[in-house]
Chains A and B, each alone.
Chain A
């Protein structure tokens, strides 16, 4: 088996052993769900419901006329109790629909369709109606990504799951292999790509085997085994490893003839096309060294993380940190009433011992960040210039091309919060550029 990879990046401890063998389970419904109207890249939705309204699971409750946006749906049967700003996982408040969950949930009446008869436009329409966004974290509306303005020759399924701890994509590959394949083919058809490629890291040999046994002998479908190196699941690094093509700075995958979707998104595409089922639930991994019962669970969108943590046995000892998403790009939570959105791939429970030191020192120019940055930037200069207020120089050394993967911070012996500096620099640089125009 040839194993491919990209330049630089870093080998991280995997921490997958906590949950990689745990089958996907469900948990009891919470008392209320909180569904943010803006949980995707693009325009926010406006609410279609008001307090007092009865809603059914799958009913559209928020929409926008903008192309780059994604509808939101009620994830349960219940009654709207409020439409108001609620705490969002990034620390801000976002206009949300709060639904009191009915004790008795009806059976959703999905319409089954023959997906082989769907035209390209029908596939895209089904995806748009379902409000699907990239479920790996970026939350970019999928119908937009699947309407590329340029010819596409390869559709890649991002099955790397390169963030440590997370195993939900892995489990879905094993337990929903057919749905994944079917969803990937539908998405491939939507972009008229002649090639379908699965990129999987080699720490999931069972998933590689499961997929390989299904695609064996099929023309135009290929599985590429990838080295377990972070951030292999970043689109640009994935395309580089799989096809040896580089997406230029400021460009997108379609500029090099590629569209990438992750595992969970492909499965959502299948469900939307096959049953007309909107994006109202997802699989996520509840894990961490502090988790009493690490597992992979299927939950309704809008479920408060506190409810999920409780249903999964909570912390096994003292609580240290709660992270929404993966350990490299996820968000530390200060409260547990934030809710699961379409882009949430995990909830990590860290013991105090696992919580990283926050104090940092000056850059000692060791060069480790420069040697590992997958974008070939200069995190040392970016962070030092941002720290001293020279945002023009931070720009010169590449701040705007940083995608905040966290590799530089991981390797830095001075523990510099480079990603934090980059975020500040991006804000200032954007403001300065706007002022100039």
Chain B
């Protein structure tokens, strides 16, 4: 009965949807990164602006390119490429060459994400994967520098003192910024290391919007603090400097590459925190947070399996052993 030519939508239940979408979540992540972005621009002026724009553009273009080549519909609207681009930029210092940042972004978005099947299928955090590739692939990057060096725009001088990361200063034991400066605003190291407060504000916003839960940031920060104490280091410096906060709020909490249950998240966050200090104490200040998170990314499927919770009624069932053979489960009466 094609009643009055009615065309009715057909789909499986349920027929209602919450307003949550991936795009909304990514937009909120970008918003949460706004404070730290602004602080870094305040300190590094055009250097920061240029670096961020390069990474955003590289991220978008890489995703477009890969999806075009793989014949998939564009997914730019989910916003995840922009988040990756911005995060890569924030992980670099202001004097980073644009081609280095661009190639890192390309590797993060193109290889770590799109080649793995796109958002959701990636095992490693794309931004961190891109960021550490510069360390692992030093020869390629130095070769690039030899080609592109003449194409480096002049954006003004950067104060060389502020170039040293607080962690390096800590290592040398000279000219350390005060803890309060480090917390509020201090122009040292990477763009994202300029203000702990700005990162915390962003983290609170994500928490408020229910995009992240407390388990990973808290367990990671507590672990950094405690293990630093055990190693006889100043725990507050280790928490406030060197990307721990960026990692705790924005990287380790990445949906795709973190465990699914709260127990798993606690294990994951704590393990990252321990690794961060081990890296810093053992190998020096460079990118300990990034490597720690990436290493734990690899264990996520395993963590999910070992933290699997019992189903509804399973605990009760194991308590009362005598149960008769069941019939099929019926729904509402």
User: Measuring CB to CB, which residues of chain A are less than 8 angstroms from any residue of chain B?
Assistant: 10, 12-13, 41, 134, 136-138, 140, 145, 149-150, 158, 164, 231, 233-236, 240, 245-252, 255, 260-262, 265, 306, 319-323, 325, 327-337, 348, 350, 352, 355-358, 361-368, 370, 374-378, 380-381, 397-398, 401, 403-404, 406-407, 409-415, 417, 419-420, 423
Closest approach, in angstroms, between the C-beta of B132 and any C-beta of chain A?
22
Q: Which listed residue, A320, A363, A376, touches B311 by the CB 8 Å rule?
A: A376
Q: Across the interface, which residues of A come within 8 angstroms of B308, CB to CB?
A: 378, 397
**Inter-chain contacts of A362 with B (CB < 8 A):** 117-121
With A364-B119, A366-B25 known as contacts, the answer to whether A332 contacts B329 (CB < 8 A) is no
In the complex, the answer to whether A327 meets B16 with C-beta atoms within 8 Å is yes
Known: A364-B119, A365-B255, A413-B25. A332 touches B10 (CB 8 A): yes
Looking at chain A's contact residues, the main secondary structure is loop
Knowing A332-B11, A365-B120, the reply to whether A251 touches B6 (Cβ < 8 A) is no
Q: Knowing A250-B326, A411-B18, A411-B20 are in contact, say whether A361-B119 is a contact too (CB < 8 A).
A: yes
Expressed in whole angstroms, the minimum distance between the Cβ of B308 and any Cβ of chain A is 8
Residue of B nearest to A165 (CB): B16
* A409: chain B residues within 8 A (beta carbon): 13-14, 17
Contact with A along B4-25 (1 / 0, CB 8 A): 0011111111111110111011
Q: Does B162 contact A (CB under 8 A)?
A: no
Task: Please report the C-alpha to C-alpha distance between residue A423 and residue B299 in the assembled complex, in whole angstroms.
Answer: 31
User: What separation, in Å, do the CA atoms of A409 and B206 have in the docked complex?
Assistant: 22
A355: B residues at CB distance < 8 A: 9, 15
B324 CB within 8 Å of chain A: yes
Partner of B120, one of A335, A337, A363, A368: A363
CB atoms of B11 and A413 under 8 A apart: no
A134 touches B333 (CB 8 A): yes
A136 touches B332 (CB 8 A): yes
Q: Sorted from nearest, which 3 A-B pairs have the closest CB atoms?
A: A406-B14, A362-B120, A248-B317
Across the two chains, which residue of chain A brings its CB closest to B317? A248
CB distance from A288 to the nearest CB of B (A): 10
Question: Could you tell me if A401 and B13 are in contact, using CB atoms closer than 8 angstroms?
Answer: no
Q: A329 to B330, alpha carbons, bound, how many Å?
A: 14
Tell me the bound Cα distance from A332 to B7 in angstroms.
Answer: 12
A243 to chain B, nearest CB (A): 12
Report the separation of the CA atoms of residues A42 and B109 in the bound assembly, to the nearest whole angstrom: 53
CA distance A246 to B2 in the complex (A): 47
Q: Contact at A41–B330, with CB atoms within 8 Å?
A: yes
- Asked if B314 is an interface residue, CB under 8 A from chain A, the answer is yes
B219 to A: closest C-beta gap in Å? 16
What is the interface size of chain B, counting residues whose CB is below 8 A from a CB of the partner?
57
B136 within 8 A of A: no
User: Do A137 and B317 touch (CB < 8 A)?
Assistant: no
For this complex, 8 residue pairs linking A to B, each with C-beta atoms less than 8 Å apart, are A12-B16, A164-B16, A248-B314, A362-B118, A362-B120, A364-B256, A374-B312, A413-B25
**Which residues of chain B come closer than 8 Å to A415, judged between CB atoms?**
17, 21
Q: Pick the most buried of B255, B260, B313, B324: most chain A CB atoms within 10 A of its CB.
A: B313
Fill in one digit per residue for B306-331: 1 if any A CB lies within 8 Å of its CB, else 0.
Answer: 00111111111100000110111111
Verify if B160 is at the interface (C-beta below 8 Å from A). no
Q: Which of A140, A362, A403 has the most CB of B within 10 A?
A: A362
Residues in B with CB closer than 8 Å to A350 are 9, 15
Q: Any chain A CB within 8 A of the CB of B161? A: no
Smallest beta-carbon distance B113→chain A, Å: 11
Which of chain A's residues has its CB closest to B73's CB?
Answer: A359
How far is it, in angstroms, between the C-alpha of A85 and the C-alpha of B333 when the chains are bound?
Answer: 27
Inter-chain contact A319/B119, CB cutoff 8 Å = no
CA distance A380 to B326 in the complex (A): 27
Question: How many angstroms from the CA of A331 to the CA of B22 in the assembled complex?
Answer: 27
- How far apart are B317's CB and chain A's nearest CB, in angstroms? 3
**A145-B333, A374-B312 given as contacts; is B22 within 8 A of A414 (CB)?**
yes
Q: Which residues of B contact A376 (CB under 8 A)?
A: 309-312
Q: How far is the CA of A278 from the CA of B176 in the complex (A)?
A: 86
**A251, B331: Cβ atoms closer than 8 Å:** no
Closest chain-A Cβ to B26's Cβ sits at a distance in Å of: 10
Contact pick for A329, options B13, B20, B324, CB 8 Å:
B13
| A150 proximity list for chain B (CB < 8 A) | 324
B1: chain A residues within 8 A (beta carbon): 306, 335-337
Set of chain B residues within 8 Å of A306, measured between Cβ atoms: 1, 3
Q: Are A320 and B9 in contact (CB under 8 A)?
A: yes
User: Cβ of A410 and Cβ of B8 under 8 Å apart?
Assistant: no
- Give Cα distance in the complex from A265 to B258, angstroms: 46
Of A261, A356, A365, A417, most buried by chain B (CB within 10 Å of CB) is A365
- The distance in angstroms between the C-alpha atoms of A403 and B316, with both chains bound, is 19
How far apart sit A410 and B12, CA to CA, in the bound complex (Å)? 12
A226 to chain B, nearest CB (A): 14
Closest to B1 in A: A337
Chain A neighbourhood of B119, CB < 8 A:
361-362, 364
Q: Is the CB of B8 within 8 A of A333?
A: yes
* Residue in chain B with minimal CB distance to A158: B333
B254-295 toward A: CB 8 Å interface, digit per residue (1/0)?
011110110000000000000000000000000000000000
Contact B12 A420 (CB under 8 A): yes
Bound: A374/B108 CA distance, A: 37
Residues in A with CB closer than 8 Å to B330 are 41, 134, 138, 140, 235, 252
